[in-house]
Amino acid sequence: MSSLTQDAGLYWRPLGGNNIDQISGHSYQYTCVLHKNEKIKISTIIVDIGKFDNHQAFGIKNSIAAVPDVRDIIQNKDLNLKAVFVTHSHPDHLNGIIHYVRAGYKLPPIYGGKYTKMILEDLYKYYQIGKINQPTFIEIEEGQIIKCSDIEVEVISASHTCFDSFGFIISACDTKVYHTGDMKIDPTTYFRKPTNLKRLKELGLKIDYIVGDFYSIDCDGFAWREADVLKTLVKIMKKSRKSKIFLPVYPTHVEMYIVAFLSALKMKKDVIFYGNADFYSYLKQIKDYGIDFCKISKGIIKVIEGVPEDIDAFSKNFVVIGAYNDIGEWFNDSKEDSFAIITAQTFFNPLKGQMNARNIKFVTLADYPVLQGAGHGHLGDWEQILKILPSAVYIPTHCPYFIAEGFRELAKKLGFEMIEPLPKNNFMYRFKGKEYTEVSAKPATWLIVNSDAIFTEVWQKATSGIGYLKRTISKKRAQRKFKMMLCQRVKNR
């Protein structure tokens, strides 16, 4: 069921990540068709196989996940699938792999960073998949160039909210694509390499296409930097003048553990890591990865996991970093000496009640939106990329179709050349240098996975994900935002 034609070129197809609501479950096909000595030579790679979380919306019994349908790429020998490249370890980019392996599909070697490997190994353990059934994993680092038949892939680092996030420069058939992965520019970093603008500048006009993370394209200015979050935390702590700070972080938000720790260190406050099972398992991974909190503290502050037996003997000046629905009675806190900084939207609602019950003052995201951090570039980030890569055709991904469409007018004013028509899942394009054509536009299917690893094929439909999007960003609101940005830019000219 391949939509390839015999014409030479680099074929690109999003399998997930490009629709009204299925903006997760990322997966992208790159196939190079070459004409050599009157023969046709084909090679293929996949970038990411994620999962889509809102599987319940499809109404399939016992479902546990939905994954993009890449079966034809894996099984069609003519496509010569050489590798799966994984940009980073988040479930919407990685976890589809596990379901294909569980269902008995043979995958080619998987290329990803050290942290991605750690998370994948955890998934194998969870689903009890033995070594013999695991596809080969090849650890990659920034700057590496991997040749997969006629496709060349260069690894380039990306600023995002987890370790080892990568973008890829994909070269084949006289065409160069910058596949950004989840990415913001943020040059400030405490635990990873930032987006490599220097390398992008070197590539400059050579980049023909950008398959870009447009998740936050409707937000103006630059995405918040790690340094902004740290600065704000320190400022709030200073202003509170309290000795005991409660600083809950979102369990999967690794970046925040480290930034929160650094803010405590800056304030010379001891650190108590205290949370639920989820929190401790992510904390363990951070440490296994090589982050040594005691070493970073250089003996200036004390660091402990879990509540010390005698809290007063341990410290009277500390920060409790963790995810907790109940802060208990362990910390001898009182409204005179305690303060809370609540850094995520919904997860910590119970905490507000507890703080209120204790008369402990707190601030939330409503007071300091920056505390949310950011993993995806805003419009400002993309305007900077445009300066560096001015001649590329921009291909939006990771964003609802109506947002990409709403962006079109502003994009034109700003000088972005957007691909035409905008891609939806399962649309296929052929690139040849700067020229491109849409070769097919079939509706997409998804595979719903049940607990026995059986797949059920369904047509993609608008799911209750739309409800989710409506809560976060509606078409109308997005259009209003883009109009406003356009007005501002016209005014400033």
**Residue selected from 48, 150, 182, 270 as contacting Zn ion according to rule CB under 5 A:** 182
**Crossing angle between the packed helical segments 401-414 and 475-491, to the nearest 10 degrees:** 10
Nearer to Zn ion, 25 or 308 (CB): 25
Q: How far is the CB of 187 from Zn ion (least distance, A)?
A: 19
CA–CA gap between residue 120 and residue 126 (Å, rounded): 10
- Provide, rounded to whole angstroms, the least separation between the CB of residue 101 and Zn ion: 21
Of 176-184, 345-353, 399-407, 420-428, the window that binds Zn ion (rule: CB under 5 A) is: 176-184
Among the residue ranges 123-131, 181-189, 256-264, 441-449, the one whose residues contact Zn ion (CB under 5 A): 181-189
Nearest-angstrom CA–CA distance, 159 and 192: 8
- Least CB distance from residue 88 to Zn ion, whole Å? 6
CB of 351 to Zn ion, least distance (A): 25
Tell me: does residue 90 bind Zn ion (CB under 5 A): yes
Q: Is 164 a binder of Zn ion (CB under 5 A)?
A: no
Three-state DSSP at 84 gives strand
289 or 314: CB nearest Zn ion: 289
Interacting positions 130-159 with Zn ion (CB under 5 A): none
By CB atoms closer than 10 A (0-12, 13-18, 19+), residue 5 is: middle
Q: Cβ 472 to Zn ion, closest distance in Å?
A: 16
- Nearest Cα residue to 218 out of 416, 493, 482, 488: 482
Our finding on whether 48 is near Zn ion (CB under 5 A) is no
Angle among Cα 145, 170, 164 to the nearest 5 degrees reads 60
- Runs of H (alpha helix) within 139-292: 197-203, 226-240, 254-266, 277-289
User: How are beta strands 270-273 and 303-305 bridged, if at all?
Assistant: parallel
Q: Which is it for strands 110-112 and 137-139: parallel, antiparallel or unpaired?
A: parallel
Cα distances (Å, whole numbers) of residue 207 to 107, 129, 196, 391, 410: 29, 40, 14, 7, 22
Beta carbon of residue 420, minimum distance to Zn ion (angstroms, whole number): 27
- Does residue 218 touch Zn ion according to CB under 5 A? no
Q: Of 144 and 252, which CB lies nearer to Zn ion in the complex structure?
A: 252
Task: Pick the piece of the chain touching Zn ion (CB under 5 A) from 26-34, 180-188, 379-387, 476-484.
Answer: 180-188
Shortest Å, Cβ 276 to Zn ion: 22
**Which C-beta is closer to Zn ion: that of 9 or that of 212?**
212
Q: Which residue's CB is nearer to Zn ion, number 69 or number 213?
A: 213
Q: With respect to Zn ion, which residue has the nearer C-beta, 94 or 458? A: 94
* φ/ψ (deg, to 5) at 83: -165, 155
Give the rounded distance of the alpha carbon of 86 from its chain centre.
Answer: 11
Comparing CB distances to Zn ion, the nearer of 90 and 253 is 90
Chain positions 383 to 402 lying near Zn ion, rule: CB under 5 A, are none
CB 3 within 8 Å of CB 19 = no
What gap in Å lies between CA 220 and CA 205, rounded to an integer?
25
Q: How many residues bind Zn ion (CB under 5 A)?
A: 2
Distance in Å, CB of 466 to Zn ion, minimum: 21
Q: Per CB under 5 A, does 26 bind Zn ion? A: no
Binding site for Zn ion (CB under 5 A): 90, 182
